Structure 1
Amino acid sequence: MTTTHTHRDRHGTDTTSRGTARTVGALFLFSTATFLVGDALIQAYFSTGTGRTGSLVAGVLLQTLCGLAVVGIGLALRRTLGRYSTTLATAYLVARCLECLAIGAVGVYLLATKSLFEQYELLVYLFSGIAGLVLSFVLLRARLVPVWLAWLGLVGYGVLLLAIPAGLLDIATLDSGPGMLMYVPGGLFELILPILLIAKGFHTPSTRAAGPDREPVTSVGA
């Protein structure tokens, strides 16, 4: 077991954790925006049938930026999550890297074939859902965010993973109608979490208990 010391300003705020929280929050919002706009451009290219590749290239580029952003989230959170479980921190980073590779592979396919990979989002959501479950579990276990928000993540990503086979087997249409409700819990989590992180940062019970004049020590281990 190793120990690390947090850096605190004159008000007793853990500045390292605060900076990480803001970075993660910004990357979450950026990744969500680039994926949604990129997906809209890709769908527009195939739905209009004009043959103009500009929207397709732009859509793939935006989704590539999304892939890089999610890897950035994994890297930024590795130390924070590793304070509570190095194994889960590594698992989260690996899942995010696989998500990035899936996005990249889909982009290469779309540009090379100029044909739509039906329900390609489900491949991406598979890794996103796994990563989300890992993240939500650690957030709940470590009380880094309000308990209700961590549970929202667990429920949301669990529903998302259940939606994938339902979509692939045509049991439910996830892009329209009632099927879209399966995206709501996870979508709310990915909207509320980054806003909370940017505005307030992570909960740090050990830091608050230590007080502004003491240097808290956080255990790191699996």
Structure 2
Amino acid sequence: MNSNMSYRRTEILVASLWIITAIGAIGGAILINPIINAPDYLTTVFPKSAIITSGMLGWMINDIGIVFIGLLMFPILKKQSESMALGYLSMRIFESILMIVGVFFAMLLIPLSQEFIKSGAMNVASFQAIGSVLKQAENWFLNLLQLIFLGLGGVILTSLLYQTKLVPRFISVFGFIGYALLLPAAIIGLFGILDPTPGGPGSILAVPVAIWEIIIMPIWLFAKGFNTTVISTK
């Protein structure tokens, strides 16, 4: 009974974190991207630093929250396969580190904009070059490289869910396909073929994962939870 209650708490926490992290990531992008991607970002980033900082808080909630998803899932997944449980947790940690680095690069645009304004918009080319490097680094770490670890971690998770029937297999299959699509999305983004970042044409490849993480899995975990029969037999 106590273990079932413990699993139930974990299910509710994981479902809640999937929703909270998604809100943080999407909210951060809505607040930040229009400012740092604008043609005049060097003159607008610093005056709008409060908005950008609020967006970064949302990003950090996401970056930290995904690690807690991995930590909360670990005891349950470990009962099925310790190596796959460790693999999933590791991918979540690597993903979090990459995104935190990306947030750091985005944060550096604030003092850059401040110095640009102080200089009276002199040495425009130099400031633009630095800004371009920072934005490119932010995009690589926060979006493109992160997609690789999100995809790999998701493939590990959904494969284990499918093998063990912790959730119905149609849910696992949908999630597996969604996470697998993130890997080519990252590759085409890294090679500049198609932009998979939020709002870009390649972002359609991330739609299945968004549906799985924000709607399908949370609803199932809130309503039904994991198959405790599978857990208790291990």
Shorter-chain TM-score tier = 0.7 to 0.9
Residue equivalent to 1:7: 2
Matched, 1:198 2:225: no
What are the residue-to-residue correspondences of 1:77-156 with 2, within 5 Å?
A: 77-114=73-110, 115=131, 116=135, 117-118=138-139, 120-156=142-178
Kept in 1: contact 2:22–2:62 (CA 8 A)? yes
Compared CA separation, residues 181 and 47, structure 1 to 2 (3 A): closer
- Report the equivalent of 1:211: none
Q: Does 1:26 align with 2:48?
A: no
Higher mean displacement: 52-61 or 96-105:
52-61
RMSD of aligned Cα (Å): 1.9
In structure 2, stretches of 5+ residues that fail to align are 111-130
- Structure 1: which 5+ runs fail to align? 1-5, 9-13, 208-216
Cα drift, residue 29 of structure 1: 0.6
For residues 169 and 27 of structure 2, what CA distance do their matches in structure 1 show? 31
- Letter aligned with residue 147 of structure 1: R
Map 1:179-218 to 2 at 5 A.
179-191=202-214, 192-206=216-230, 217-218=232-233
TM-score, normalised via structure 1 length: 0.83
- Give the structure with the larger helix fraction: 2
Deviations 1:28-86 (A, max 9, x none): 11111101111221202214532321122112221111111101101100100001011
User: Equivalents in 1 of 2:143, 2:61: separation in Å?
Assistant: 15
Rounded Cα–Cα distance in structure 1 between residues aligned with 2:65 and 2:17: 6
Which position in structure 1 is the counterpart of 2:179? 157
Distance 2:181 2:212 in 1: 12
1:186 positional shift: 1.3
Measure the CA separation in 2 of the matches of 1:182 and 1:118: 17
Contact kept? 1:31, 1:69, Cα under 8 Å:
yes
Q: Partners of 1:84 and 1:206 in 2: how far apart?
A: 9
Identity %: 28
Q: Which residue of 1 aligns with 2:7?
A: 17
- Give distance in 1, aligned partners of 2:96 and 2:108: 18
Aligned residue for 1:118, secondary structure, equals helix
Provide the aligned length of Structure 1 versus Structure 2: 200
TM-score, normalized by length of structure 2? 0.79
